[in-house]
A and B are shown apart, each in its own frame.
Chain A
């Protein structure tokens, strides 16, 4: 059997798009075929289901004890709290190996032989991990919202929680979108730094260290920039006062800020991937 002749397709955007779609399908096979993915997803769900109702209980008891003003609190905000403080870190831990394990195992060489246009490999990974994080985030947020509302509907806590379907759906979608962009940011950092340890450190500093440092510094300028960090903008984007207190930018501007972070991380990751030897 001699090698089959290859019918060449003309180079151009159609071929590039078709190859990107094929690469996305391959990345989905890669993501779903490792246990890390499903352990991470299970952990995200479990933590959401633990944290959101707990926050509901503590919020209501704080209100009953008079430590915070008594108010009607949307159940969806409990899920946002969990997404911001817990679930996003699980998503980072789930997404990083998607690129870093390729380097540590050397499998990236096989991947790049199949997809030699390097930005395409990273783009395919970004599409798949963002999609996965979105679905995972939306599912977890729905579960968290429903659970939190169920807890707040208990006679002991009754009267504080609200569940308004339209607002809850918007909140759930925003949580999914935030986690999708966090996933893309993590992927970019992983591609740029290549090691889990390095990327985790960088992301910890970016997501937590930077906003806390800026807020601690105080002053208008620091606060201004703190609102442009991923974490604080995330709180604003998911439209919560509960998780972090009021933030000075609106959900739309916050969305743009998050988009910029993920775009910047992807650009750096793609640049490093393209420049360096695999």
Chain B
């Protein structure tokens, strides 16, 4: 479990992380969303004791990172896949990390096999593709068999197979009861991976809720009714407190009611219905609504959109 209490990081005049309070719980994948520069990476670095908070605390299992006994057994993290000495082999990189914790060399070969790098492990890391570097980073994170895992933008630049592999890995790790905290700005991917979402913008917490709840709250989530005479249904729907929008001459978009209720009301009003379906919000849509007011770096004239 990761706990943030009033976590704040200030760089000069810029408040990168602004009194963040948060609990990231085990047994599920928690997606950490926010625009670039929202403070996601800074927050993760503070959890790992790499950056010093200006104020507040970041705790892992109730303790600051640097007080953990043999921290790689508690926390594994993939921050920047390229952050490996380019002249050192992948295996030597892991071997050095293993030695700090007296983890046997056998475990190094196990994790290399787990991430499918056993064939390339003796090559210099500078020759690795991005996907291979990412796998090496994950091998390092898994080395100590930790209960908490942090991934910072793990699928950036990966091919579809790599993306799917990481998604399944994260699901599996969470399924084993571990805490999985993963930052991303790829919404479609997060929608497939995360159970719970934490959204920040300008360093502040915008949302901390289950994925399903975030999606349900989106204005995009609605029931679409197609009928030759939709106007006969509008009154009945409005009487139930639903919001109704005429999307076309034969189409209504209804928010605030489920398909079952809309169907019942149509039946009662004797309205012929040609189509009745839910329109699911994408996370992309829900996220945009959440962050609309919180985006720090909106495009200005002359800049790329």
Q: Which residues of A contact B (CB under 8 A)?
A: 1-4, 6, 8-9, 11, 15, 19, 22-23, 25-27, 29-30, 33-36, 101-102, 105-107, 109-117, 275, 277-278
Contact = CB atoms under 8 A, between A and B. Distances in A.
Nearest to B50: A278
A26 B95 CA distance: 7
Contacts, number: 114
Contacts of A277: 45, 50-52
Interface stretch (B62-70, B193-201, B272-280, B291-299): B62-70
Nearest to A113: B48
Nearest to A114: B100
Contact of B69 (A6, A105, A107): A6
A117 B67 CA distance: 9
Contact of B101 (A11, A35, A111, A114): A114
A3 B178 contact: yes
B176 A3 contact: yes
A112 B50 contact: yes
Contacts of B25: none
A236 to B, nearest CB: 37
A101 B85 contact: yes
Contacts of B89: 33
Given A22-B100, A113-B48, A115-B100, A9 B88 contact: no
A114 B69 contact: no
A22 B79 CA distance: 24
B68 A116 contact: yes
Nearest to B67: A11
Contacts of A22: 99-102
Contacts of B67: 11
A107 B50 contact: no
Interface in B58-98: 65-75, 77, 79-80, 82-89, 92-93, 95-98
Closest 8 CB pairs of A and B: A106-B83, A33-B92, A26-B99, A116-B66, A277-B51, A3-B147, A114-B100, A29-B96
Given A22-B100, A29-B96, A107-B85, A8 B69 contact: yes
Nearest to B77: A113
Given A110-B97, A110-B140, 14 more contacts: A1-B145, A1-B176, A3-B178, A9-B69, A23-B100, A29-B99, A33-B95, A34-B88, A105-B86, A106-B84, A109-B48, A109-B50, A113-B48, A277-B45
B49 interface: yes
Interface string B163-193: 0000000000000111000000000000000
Contacts of A15: 69
Given A277-B51, A277-B52, A113 B75 contact: yes
A82 to B, nearest CB: 28
Contacts of B68: 116
Given A22-B102, A277-B52, A110 B93 contact: yes
A2 B52 CA distance: 31
Contact of A114 (B45, B85, B97): B97
A270 to B, nearest CB: 15
Nearest to A1: B176
Contacts of B88: 30, 33-34
Interface of B: 45, 48-52, 65-75, 77, 79-80, 82-89, 92-93, 95-102, 140, 145-147, 176-178
Contacts of B96: 26-27, 29-30, 33, 111
Nearest to B82: A106
Contacts of B95: 29, 33
A107 B87 contact: no
Nearest to B48: A113
B157 to A, nearest CB: 16
A248 to B, nearest CB: 44
16 contacts: A1-B145, A3-B146, A11-B69, A22-B100, A22-B102, A29-B96, A30-B96, A34-B85, A102-B85, A105-B86, A106-B83, A107-B84, A111-B97, A114-B100, A277-B50, A278-B50
A18 B79 CA distance: 28
Given A22-B99, A23-B100, A29-B99, A105 B84 contact: yes
A4 B145 contact: yes
A29 B48 contact: no
A175 B34 CA distance: 57
B107 to A, nearest CB: 11
A6 B77 contact: no
B220 to A, nearest CB: 38
A230 B64 CA distance: 40
A8 B63 CA distance: 13
B49 A116 contact: yes
B140 to A, nearest CB: 6
A11 to B, nearest CB: 7
A111 B101 CA distance: 12
A94 to B, nearest CB: 13
A30 B98 CA distance: 11
B176 A2 contact: yes
A3 B92 contact: no
Contacts of B74: 6
Contacts of B97: 26, 110-111, 114
B71 A3 contact: no
A3 B173 CA distance: 9
Contacts of A106: 80, 82-84
